[in-house]
Amino acid sequence: MQPNSNAFDLALAYPQWQGSGRHQHLARGAVAAAAVCARFAPLAQQVPVSTAEGDGHGVRRWNAILEQFRDAQELLARSGARRVLTAGGDCAVDIAVIDYLHRVHPGLSVIWIDAHLDANTPETSPSGSFHGMPVAAILGRAPAPMRALLSAPIDPARFRYFGIHVGDDGDWALRRELDLQTLDPARLPNGPVHIHFDLDVLEPAEFPYLAYTDGDLRIDDAVALVRRIADAGDLVGLTLTEFSPANEQDAQEGARVIARLCEAALRR
């Protein structure tokens, strides 16, 4: 199948690395992922990588993260896009994207495909790494300066996990508190839906280009799942994160899988 440029209005390059605790190869992965996404939608100016330093609000490298968040919000608002394909960067890039899409599509559902729960808050995180906090943030638990810039939180009833099995005590506690459910593939959302796809959900024997190797989802099964979600509902967003190839050859190999996921998300 040839890529359909009408599938997404915008491909957003968001190469933030500061949220990750293992960021050595994320920049290379973000460049490669953006090149793939640009084949499936018009590529916007990328969110600039901040050089700001300093921690804050219980988050490591907070000043850079907040600066990039503000820049992403501005880019998205100027774009007027209704369907966004995003190349990360660490998992926390999706906070700005999901908030934007939620403003455009008030009934937005979010499917979080990841090996990790990503539901810590600054108070519960043992590391202070923000890529472990985006689920909490989109559900209303972002640090105060970011929370003031966000719209209404995602309704927990419109949030579904898939692939999770790794988390800290704080992750599991928030999941219990908000009763966050796992996706039933037989009951997929039929309205506007956004997929967060952390590549570390994949089986590392098949996709080894990762900083965290906790996943067990086969590539073919992942592609099939994205296709089923796109067929069942109105897929208005797909964000791909945590691509961490150690060299250019790995970047090229991993990019082929990213292209398969993007193709699976095309409107039919």
For residue range 213-229, list pLDDT tens digits in order: 889 999 999 999 999 99
Q: For residue 157, give every residue at least 6 positions away whose Cβ sits within 8 Å of its Cβ, in sequence order, or none.
A: none
Residue 115 domain-assigned (yes or no): yes
Position 180 scores a pLDDT of 98
Q: For residue 187, give every residue at least 6 positions away whose Cβ sits within 8 Å of its Cβ, in sequence order, or none.
A: none
Position 43 scores a pLDDT of 79
Residue 47 domain-assigned (yes or no): yes
Domain that holds residue 118: 10-264
CATH code of the domain in which 234 resides: 3.40.800.10
- Given phi > 0 = left and psi -120 to 50 = alpha, else beta, which region is 96? alpha
**Positions of the chain with pLDDT lower than 50, given as ranges:** 1-6
Total domains present in the chain: 1
Residue 3 domain-assigned (yes or no): no
Residue 255 domain-assigned (yes or no): yes
Residue 202 domain-assigned (yes or no): yes
Residue 4 domain-assigned (yes or no): no
185: exposed, middle or buried (Cβ count in 10 Å: 0-12, 13-18, 19+): exposed
Position 7 scores a pLDDT of 82
